[in-house]
Amino acid sequence: MDGSLSYLGAFLVGLLGGVHCVGMCGGIVTALTFGLPEERRASVIEMLPFQLSYNLGRLGSYTLAGALMGGLGILLSSFLPVQYAQRGLLAAAGIFMILLGLYLGGWWAGLTRVEAIGGVLWRRIEPLGRRLLPVRSPAQALVLGIIWGWLPCGLVYSVLIWAVAAGGAAQGAGLMLAFGLGTLPNLLALGLVASTLARWTRAPAIRCVAGALVIALGSYTLWRLL
């Protein structure tokens, strides 16, 4: 699939999957915000460095994971003739994009079961995050955000599988970064704006459009294989 189209698709998945992001991570952001000193919470300007640091760390973890999965795709392709490897990876990416589109559209919830796969890793690193609470500096918030980026999430895992077929470590990293940037509006603005965004992304028509777009990207990927 064309690189720019893939990045745009990943961004839209992050943006229009906002109802999942708010439900999955909204409580974490809220807890982190109320864990700040009261004088910091009194002003949006005072809180902004902490919120940016949380999310910068989270996006850093997404980007690293994307690079690893993109590199894994290249490694797997080295065991097969290039033509067959590319076709196999693109077929897997297309199928998972279609499944992701069905999830975003509210037509299939099977991806939530994928989150159990990451539970083993999360149980090992989550205690490290608890040791950083309460947060007192943006640097501390950055480290906590890095840990937060490994929270089990079916939406994230689906895009990571997409990253395997991205074409390499750099492309996989770019795909996950684009996805992470799409999640920012919902997770940065958890006050009045976030509630408005959550209502918007929860609207059936918006979810259907989002799901249809991602299904179209997956279908286009599979069509290219023909």
Give Cα separations from 131 to 29, 121, 135 (angstroms): 17, 17, 10
**Which residues span the domain enclosing 179?**
3-225
For residue 56, pLDDT over 90 is answered with: yes
Q: Report pLDDT for 24.
A: 64
Q: Could you give the number of structural domains in the chain?
A: 1
Q: Report pLDDT for 192.
A: 34
Write out 173-193 in H/E/C secondary structure.
Answer: HHHHHHHHHHHHHHHHCCCHH
Q: Cα(61)–Cα(71) distance, rounded to whole angstroms? A: 15
Minimum mean pLDDT range among 16-20, 48-52, 216-220: 16-20
Average pLDDT, the chain: 78
**Phi and psi for 190 in degrees, rounded to 5?**
-90, 10
Kindly state the DSSP code that residue 135 receives in the 8-state scheme: P
Kindly state the DSSP code that residue 165 receives in the 8-state scheme: T
Four-point Cα dihedral 145, 164, 169, 129, nearest 10: 20
Q: Cα(105)–Cα(103) distance, rounded to whole angstroms? A: 5
Mean pLDDT of 148-155: 83
Contacts of 87 (CB under 8 A, 6+ apart): 225
Structure confidence at residue 3 as a pLDDT band (50, 70, 90): low
Amino acid identity, position 225: L
Q: Report pLDDT for 2.
A: 57
Residue whose tokens read 């205690």: 127
Residue whose tokens read 């961004």: 11
Q: Which two tokens stand for residue 138?
A: 């943006």
Higher per-residue pLDDT: 87 or 147: 147
For residue 199, pLDDT over 80 is answered with: no
